[in-house]
Structure 1
Amino acid sequence: MQHYLIFHVSLKVVSACDQLRIDAALSSVVDFNNKTFSLTLKNMQKTHSGLYTAIASGESDKDIVTYRVSVIDAVEAPVLTVNSSGSSDSCTFNFTCRGHVFTLSSTFVYDSCSREEVTSQINTLILDCSEESIICNHSNPVSWKEDRINITQLCEENERRQMTTIFYVSSYKIGLIIVCVVVGVIVFAGLVLYCFCKNKKGVKQADDTDYDDAETQKMTGDTWTTVTYCTVGGHQTPSSAHDC
């Protein structure tokens, strides 16, 4: 009896008794064991995808087993992106998992998140988390790759970042208050000085007015306005002296 493997219905690996014949087109991709009748495929290309059928040939052909072989590429590495949720909680995050043409999103709150999964044809994308990590896994029947982030470390870093932000905000507020107080003191001192100078100027003007009144009175008093006329004999020119 003769056993042979049909590849794409045209290429054959043939074993007749103890003799082995491998089609030249398959010699680089198959290892056939004529004792166990097992076939190992190697160096596969996408063109090698198809049906592989083991047939026992005698008076009539009998199909023993048929396999459909698909040669597919390894998956691309997924990308996991984690963003702060904007919450005051230092261990709450929104994250996105991207792989192939898929995108999954979820929210991590402390040690839990909702598991998300999507499958299309031969590719599967899974987004999951544990107490320590967020995991983005992209796989197909021949390979898998993942991207993960240590959530414990992320929580600690976010907490430090929030504390730093609080410190700077507090420092800014304190600095602003100090500046406002200093400006207020300067303005108040300026007003006090202005009022003091204004009052002092008013007092000086009042003193000057009193002095002018005294001078006016002195110049218009009896000493300056009194004229004594002496008539001795004939007509004489008036004199401003007190004694004649």
Structure 2
Amino acid sequence: MMVYLLRAHAKRKERVSSSVFVEKGQDVRLDVQEYMTVKENLKRLNRFKWMFNTSDNVVTYIHEIETQVTRKYQGRAEFIEGNFSLLLKNLTEGDGGCYTAAVSGEKNKDIAKYQISVQERVEPPVLTVDFNSTINAICNVTVTCRGQNTSVTSSCNSRTCSQVGGESRGAETSTVPLLSVYVAGGSIICNHSNQVSWANNTMEIKTICVSKSGPEWEDHYTVMILVIIIIIIIVGLGGTAVICWLKRSKSGKEDIMNTDYATVGIQAGGEEQVSPGPTSPTIYSMVGLPQPQPVNHQPLPEDIPMTMPGSLYAVVGKKTSKQ
């Protein structure tokens, strides 16, 4: 059984009460520090009592006569005669309040006071990642820690956390559960606690950054690779198109030159012979050498064909004409 005793300071002259926090369903024992004095003086005193909220009797003890537990507390409260302690069992929220030990005789005197608070065990907190970013290789994470009826939002890195939002956290002496977020051992820890129990939830900062930033980085890398591939394809297609265009342009020029300078044959006997060349006649394909005229009706000597040297113009053949 875990019980936290916190001393409360009172400014008045009456006996100071002690704060006791008890987990719901647990037992607690309330002791009397001055029980020896009570024992020595009890013979001439009438009664010793434990009371709840100053008016509800829990136990009444008459020295060497009887111990009476009020019916309401039978089975739930036990009086220990040796040191006048009170054992309260299986506490519920309704058992929280002020318990006073007092002796009564000619004058009533308070011997001990306890202020009991009954609390439930806290549930494990829920830790969620709201946002994360990596700047200069430092991972910054914004997390929200949620507990029972309260939450805290904190900004954390690998060294520290600072609260940036959420409800006010409970104080150590408060009945409100305490939420705290901090960094330890490379992990973000959300601690949820009250005065009788605690629970936490942790997340590794490295895991958060890898899981959140990794896919995003991989997407950027994939896009970059695709862009490079597309650029290479475009450049390759463009280069191929330019090469094809240059080849076609050069081939067109050669066709034009061959057309302009086609081989022309020499006409003979009224027939034209043209060397193989382009099908369309050119300015030179229609030209023939002038035919010599006979002198004094004498036959002309037969000319021997002469081969002309190659030139820019087509070779012109001769045909002999016989009279």
TM-score using structure 2 length: 0.55
Report the 3-state secondary structure (helix = DSSP H, G, I; strand = E; otherwise coil) of the residue aligned with 1:207: helix
Higher alpha-carbon deviation: 32-41 or 93-102: 93-102
Q: Which runs of 5+ in 1 are unaligned?
A: 224-241
2-structure distance, mates of 1:114, 1:172: 35
- 1:212 counterpart residue number: 281
| 8 Å Cα contact 2:144-2:151 kept in structure 1 | no
Structure with the larger helix share: 1
2:143 touches 2:154 (CA, 8 Å); kept in 1? yes
TM-aligned CA distance change 1:51 to 1:167, over 3 Å: closer
Q: Does 1:55 align with 2:102?
A: yes
- Residue type at the aligned position of 1:53: T
1:87 aligns with 135
Distance 1:106 1:216, change over 3 A: closer
| Cα distance in 1 between the residues matched to 2:246 and 2:186 | 69
Secondary structure of the 2:119 match is coil
CA distance in 2, matches of 1:178, 1:162: 25
Amino acid at match of 1:24: R
> What residue identity is the alignment partner of 1:88?
N
Pick the aligned partner of 1:190 from 227, 233, 241: 241
What is the match of residue 58 of structure 2? 12
Q: Deviations over 1:109-158 (max 9, x none)?
A: x4x31566832542322222234443222222222222233x4xx43774
For CA contacts below 8 A with separation 6 or more, give which structure has more relative contact order.
Answer: 2
Paired AA for residue 2 in structure 1: R
Partner of 1:43: 90
User: Does the C-alpha gap of structure 1 residues 132 and 197 become closer, same or farther in structure 2, counting only changes over 3 Å?
Assistant: closer
- Structure 2: runs of 5+ lacking an equivalent: 1-45, 263-279, 292-320
Change in CA separation of 1:205 and 1:171 when aligned onto 2, cut-off 3 Å: same
Q: CA RMSD in A?
A: 3.7
User: Alpha-carbon deviation of 1:95?
Assistant: 3.8
Note closer, same or farther for the CA distance 1:146–1:170 as it changes in structure 2 (3 Å cut): closer
SS at match of 2:118: coil
Q: Report how many residues are paired.
A: 220
Q: Please give the residue correspondences for 1:67-106 in structure 2 after superposition, counting only pairs within 5 Å.
A: 67-82=114-129, 83-99=131-147, 100-106=149-155
Which position in structure 1 is the counterpart of 2:227?
176
Q: 1:122 aligns with which of 139, 159, 175?
A: 175
Aligned to 1:143: 197
What SS does the corresponding residue of 2:231 show, helix, strand or coil? helix
| TM superposition shift of 1:176 | 3.4
Report the residue type matching 1:197 in the other structure: R
Query: How far apart are 1:21 and its partner, in Å?
Result: 1.9
Could you tell me the percent identity over the aligned residues? 24
CA contact (8 A) 1:128 1:134 kept: yes
Aligned to 1:201, which of 252, 265, 270?
A: 252
1:52 deviates by: 1.1
Q: 1:107 aligns with which of 151, 156, 175?
A: 156
CA gap 1:194/1:148 in 2 versus in 1, 3 angstroms: same
Whose radius of gyration is greater, 1 or 2? Answer: 2
Structure 1 60/197 Cα, relative in aligned 2: closer, same or farther at 3 Å?
same
CA displacement 1:64-112 (0-9 Å, x = unmatched): 222222222223322334553332315544444333423141322x4x3
Q: Residue deviations 1:193-213, cap 9 Å, x none?
A: 123224323433553465412
TM-score (norm 1): 0.70
C-alpha deviation, 1:37, in angstroms = 1.0
* Cα deviation digits, residues 29-70 of structure 1 (max 9, x gap): 222212211112221111122221112122343222222222
